[in-house]
Amino acid sequence: MTKTQEPAVLPDQPTRLETDGPNAVGRMLGLLGDEWTLLIVQQSLRGIRRYGQLMDALPISNSTLTSRLAMLTREGMLERHVYQDKPVRAEYRPTPRTRSLWPVLLAIWEWERHWVPDHAERLPSMHHDTCDADFAPVLGCRSCGRPVAAREIEAEWGPSGSWPRSVPEAATRRRSDAEAVGGQSGLFPDTMTIFGNRWSSALLGAAFRGLSRFHEFESALGAPPTLVAERLKAFVAIGVLEPVESLGRADWVQYRLTEKGRAFFPVVATSLHWAEQWFHAPEGPALLQTHRTCGQDYVPFFACDRCGEPLAAADISIVPAGTAATTPDEESR
């Protein structure tokens, strides 16, 4: 006999947020701004869904995996399905919320493949079954179908938007270097520096919104100075921000996005779209984005660089070296 544990929210319906509480951006960063969440979601979409399989695939402790699986089930991102009663055995199946994260994971894969060459050979190839070619995703505007760069998007706060409401409430623990050695976490190392911590994600978002000085980051995010300094140092170390002295003020340093930093925009764009899709504040959206080229509301999508057709999860195969292709959401065997 099989049993299904119901989540605290409906996994195929948007979550209704509280008035004046964390907005869609804050809720998204609270969930995805945790490296374990990203890694568990990634493994789930690849068909690794049972507790033992996840323990084997990730450098994670029993207590951490148990807490993250409980949280993801509670948030409607995984469905706990008991397939054996004595002893109890369960698998955690991705829900529509998690399945719709595939553009975010695809954006991460492409950014790491292009900008972190030291480990690019470890990443699997992506194959577009529609045109039967290995491909790179191209970020575009769904309204006009044209490719999009970060500088072409105009963003402003929406009715529920503000810095305080966009920063997650709960703290997340960062994994130590010792825990990461030899594990699957090494698949996306630079992304984990940026996106695997909620303060990092918020700080990079602030950089895309035009903030550049230390006191601006500290004031907007409400973060402790030591934390802001540590995150800025980490971003400079991996090359997504560069410190530039202000003209005439040697004591003023601006932190500007590098080419590598700007190239992270597809991850930001797809994450924000996912947030607004699944978390609805009563006041309205947190962020309003417009594609300057066509003047329409910006909705991101990915096209194949080989054939130009829009990409869909069902048409993408993951091809690890020496193995047959599998779809990103192939059922576990």
Given its phi and psi angles, is residue 246 left (phi above 0), alpha (psi -120 to 50 degrees) or beta?
beta
Residue 275 has what pLDDT?
96
Exposure of 120 in the CB half-sphere (CA atoms within 13 A):
10
Biggest alpha carbon distance in the chain?
A: 74
Looking at residues 2-6, what average pLDDT do you find?
A: 47
Model confidence pLDDT, tens digit, residues 288-316: 999 999 999 999 999 999 999 999 999 99
| Mean pLDDT score of the chain | 85
Q: What is the pLDDT of residue 128?
A: 96
Task: Please report the pLDDT score of residue 251 as a whole number.
Answer: 67
Among residues 268, 195, 201, 171, the alpha carbon closest in space to that of 39 is found at 195
- Which carries the bigger pLDDT value, residue 166 or residue 182? 166
- Is the Cβ–Cβ distance between 91 and 81 less than 8 Å? yes
pLDDT digits (tens, 9 = 90+) for 171-212: 444 444 333 434 444 567 788 788 767 788 889 989 998 999
DSSP 86: T
Per-residue pLDDT, averaged over 4-30, amounts to: 84
Alpha helices in 169-323 (DSSP H): 177-180, 189-195, 198-208, 214-221, 225-238, 259-262, 265-278
- Per-residue confidence band for 318, with pLDDT thresholds at 50, 70 and 90: confident
* 257 membership: H or E segment, kind and range: strand 249-257
- Least confident range from 12-21, 52-61, 216-225, 324-333: namely 324-333
Least confident of 117-131, 165-179, 236-250, 303-317: 165-179
Backbone torsions φ then ψ of 217, nearest 5 degrees: -65, -45
Residue type, 203: L
Report pLDDT for 291.
Answer: 97
The predicted structure's pLDDT at residue 173: 44
Question: CA–CA distance from 34 to each of 27, 217, 230 (Å)?
Answer: 12, 20, 17
